[in-house]
Amino acid sequence: MSTISIQDRSFGLFLSSEQIHTKIDTLASEISTDYKDKDPVFVVVLNGAFLFASFLISRLKFPCRVSFIRVNSYKGTSSSGEIQKVFGMDEELEGEHVILVDDIVDTGLTMKEVKEEILKLKPASVEIACLVSKPESHKRAIDVRYIGFEIPNRFIVGFGLDYNGYGRNLNDIYVINYP
């Protein structure tokens, strides 16, 4: 299906499931090479990163540890720009190599805040992996080590990303059709 409706909006196909999985394979190979001797801990940002993280991490070539945190900052189609709180942070990250996994880096405020929280726990290193980045929308310089797709500043849905809670289950990614 190339057009879908969610509530009051229509969306067109943007990235196919095949494109997404090919890209995740590439990222998983890079991470497998870079981290094979580092015994990293993956910290996954819920809810949006659940699908990306599960496919990414299941393709790694070594056993690893995974934990989950939760942050809320979006309502409708624009970032609120305010991070409410980071929930569920594992306190045992001292000396660990951490890879933070999120669905999308939009303003970059979420990742900046989460990274600062993690740095307080004195990890050996922290890098960020995201499926999608919107560089035009970044409010601060943010160093994202592993990026699946760089896209223009448009609202997307699917493969973990939602519009008002809907669409996370879609296997492809769709972009909003502005009226």
* Catalytic residue selected from 106, 143, 162, 172: 106
Q: With binding defined as CB under 6 A, does residue 56 bind ligand IMP?
A: no
Closest CA to 110 of 69, 56, 169: 69
Among residues 48, 158, 160, 167, the one that binds Mg ion under rule CB under 5 A: 48
Structure letter (DSSP) for residue 101: E
106 is catalytic: yes
Among residues 35, 42, 55, 74, the one that binds ligand IMP under rule CB under 6 A: 74
The contacts found for 154-158 with CB under 8 angstroms, 24 or more apart, are: 155/77, 155/78, 156/11, 156/14, 156/104, 156/132, 157/6, 157/11, 158/11
Closest CA to 159 of 1, 15, 8: 15
Residue 142 Cβ vs ligand IMP, minimum distance, rounded to whole Å: 8
Q: Could you tell me the two tokens for 44?
A: 């996954």
Residue 37 Cβ vs ligand IMP, minimum distance, rounded to whole Å: 30
**CA 55 to mean position of chain CA atoms:** 12
Q: Which is nearer to ligand IMP, 2 or 153 (CB)?
A: 153
**Cβ atoms 175, 154 nearer than 8 A:** yes
Three-state SS at 6: strand
Count of residues that bind ligand IMP according to CB under 6 A: 18
Q: With binding defined as CB under 6 A, does residue 110 bind ligand IMP?
A: yes
Q: Which is nearer to ligand IMP, 28 or 142 (CB)?
A: 142
Among residues 48, 93, 148, 173, the one that binds ligand IMP under rule CB under 6 A: 48
Report the catalytic residues.
Answer: 106
Binding region for Mg ion (CB under 5 A): 48
Binding region for ligand IMP (CB under 6 A): 48, 73-74, 79, 102-110, 155-157, 161-162
